[in-house]
Amino acid sequence: MKILSVSENSTGALLGLKPGDRIEAIDGSRVRDIIDYRFKSSDENIVLRVRHKDHIEEYDIDKDYDDDLGLEFEDFRIRKCANDCIFCFVDQNPPGMRDALYFRDGDFRLSFLHGHYITMTNMGWKELKRIVDQRLTPLYISVHVTQPDKRLEMFLYGKDDNLLRKFEYLTENGIGLHSQVVLCPDWNDGLFLEKTIADIHQFSPIARTLSIVPVGLTKHRENLPFIAPITVEYAEKFIPVAQSLDKKYRLKDGRRFVFLSDEWFLVTGQDLPGVEYYEDSDLSENGVGQVPFFWEQWQAGMADLNPKLDEPKTVTVCTGTLVENWFRSHWLPTLDSIDNLNINYIPIQNDFYGKDEVTVSGLLVGQDIVSQLSGKDLGDKVIFSDRILSETGTVTLDDMSLKQISSAIGTPVVVTDDKPISFFKHLN
């Protein structure tokens, strides 16, 4: 593992470690990645073997168990997904985008570190044993369907991947698993869905949750299998079915196992559940409870911060169209109490991916923002969710920076996270 930086006054600095040095082993065991490093360096006494530019040196180190030596490493090589799923969003990107957007991540390490959902089809028993040995829990698993022939049909993997045997092994060894089903009408709904829930539920409570999210389709599906979109009518019929399955498949202590993502309720205009619906399951990064938790934080923030502006200010807030009705009925009225604040709210249509197909804020692109905001009186500032930017926080999906967007529309553009205090900072 190559060292990128060494913190000042850290144990690593005191040892004389430098950027470019490579960690080869700890206590004689090879270090493959950051998880290996954290796992093997947690003892209070370790022997660290380091390859410098022109020699190898070993260090016998006494330290606190939580001392990471102050080292930062280069990113590990991400393992690619082995599937060719019929609904994979990567295949629904148009040509000409940056290479990273065509890469299918299927790495269990990112599942553990960042909550990425993986299918486990590319994992053998060696990787599963490592997960157990290093207690990499919880993991996030894209199940979609458990019926073997239907898995072959949807995943296009080519062979039975022994999903339930993997679930059995991991849960028997105490590895918590959060599952998801991307629901595709006429593919994995109906009896297939109930079988999937029942198959995964047998491994509860170590298999902790199963989230159902609607399939995301773009207008760029040339030469891909037909999947019917999730319509309002379909969602209205599906929600009570899912709620019935939720009641049928609970954990032994009565806690919820089956969860619906926010999109089901937003598509139909139904009231979203309160935060109590989600109990102690934090699935908001998968769109499950994201809006209710935002709303709870927002209401608490308004009460605690009691924001005020010393002088009049006009701000434009933009989102995707999915949350438009909810924002107008819930969020906008709360801002009426802020003196000197005038809010413009403009939902942005996603012409890039398809205005009827893709409506979430996180998939908005710079060119749509520019085309739909240009020439409008936007006030002092335009605010978006930080989800419109890449993981590095620098560009939109079509590689436009906030500076470029700001210049194109003639108004400063900023992004904010879900915390009220972050939003209010942009008002001053």
Closest to 245 measured CA to CA, from 229, 258, 256, 226: 258
Domain chopping of the chain, boundaries? 3-73, 89-286, 294-425
Q: How far apart are the first and last CA of the chain?
A: 44
- Average pLDDT value for residue range 214-230: 96
pLDDT (0 to 100) of residue 310: 86
- Average pLDDT value for residue range 291-311: 87
CATH 2.60.40.420 describes domain 89-286? no
pLDDT (0 to 100) of residue 303: 83
Which residue carries 């992004």 as its tokens? 415
Q: Quick check: helix, strand or coil at residue 289?
A: coil
The H-or-E segment that residue 30 falls in is: strand 29-30
CATH top-level class of 3-73:
mainly beta
pLDDT tier, 178 (very low <50, low <70, confident <90, very high otherwise): very high
Q: Annotate 358-408 with DSSP letters as a single string.
A: ---GGG--HHHHHHHHTTS--TTEEEEEGGGS-TTSSB-TTS-BHHHHHHH
Average pLDDT, the chain: 94
Is residue 320 a contact partner of residue 364, using CB atoms and an 8 Å limit? yes
- Average pLDDT value for residue range 168-191: 98
The pLDDT > 70 percentage for the chain reads 100
- The yes-or-no verdict on residue 306 having pLDDT over 80 is no
Chain centre to alpha carbon of residue 282: 12
Token duo for residue 72 = 């930062």
- Average pLDDT value for residue range 202-226: 97
The pLDDT > 90 percentage for the chain reads 86
- Average pLDDT value for residue range 387-399: 90
Beta partners for 382?
Answer: 316, 413
pLDDT tier, 393 (very low <50, low <70, confident <90, very high otherwise): confident
- The yes-or-no verdict on residue 180 having pLDDT over 90 is yes
Over the stretch 34-65, which tens digit does the pLDDT of each residue have? 999 999 999 999 999 999 999 999 999 999 98
Over the stretch 10-39, which tens digit does the pLDDT of each residue have? 999 999 999 999 999 999 999 999 999 999
Q: Quick check: helix, strand or coil at residue 423?
A: helix
d(CA 217, CA 187): 14
pLDDT (0 to 100) of residue 360: 95
Which residue carries 């930086």 as its tokens? 5
pLDDT (0 to 100) of residue 420: 85
d(CA 234, CA 231): 5
Question: Any long-range contacts for 274-281 (C-beta under 8 Å, 24+ apart)?
Answer: 279/255, 280/255, 281/178, 281/208, 281/209, 281/256
d(CA 99, CA 83): 18
pLDDT (0 to 100) of residue 38: 92
pLDDT tier, 301 (very low <50, low <70, confident <90, very high otherwise): confident
Beta 413-416 vs 71-73: how paired, if at all? unpaired
- The yes-or-no verdict on residue 428 having pLDDT over 80 is no
pLDDT (0 to 100) of residue 192: 98
Is residue 313 a contact partner of residue 378, using CB atoms and an 8 Å limit? no
Q: How far is CA 401 from CA 173, 360, 364, 371, in A?
A: 45, 19, 13, 15
Q: Annotate 1-65 with DSSP letters as a single string.
A: -BEEEE-TTSHHHHHT--TT-EEEEETTEE--SHHHHHHHT-SSEEEEEEE-SS-EEEEEEE--T
Topology classification of domain 294-425: Rossmann fold (3.40.50)
pLDDT (0 to 100) of residue 279: 87
d(CA 194, CA 377): 51
- Average pLDDT value for residue range 166-171: 98
DSSP 112: H
**Of 267-281, 295-309, 315-329, where does mean pLDDT reach its minimum?**
295-309
Q: What is the pTM of this model?
A: 0.92
Over the stretch 342-357, which tens digit does the pLDDT of each residue have? 999 999 999 999 999 9
Token duo for residue 364 = 């908005």
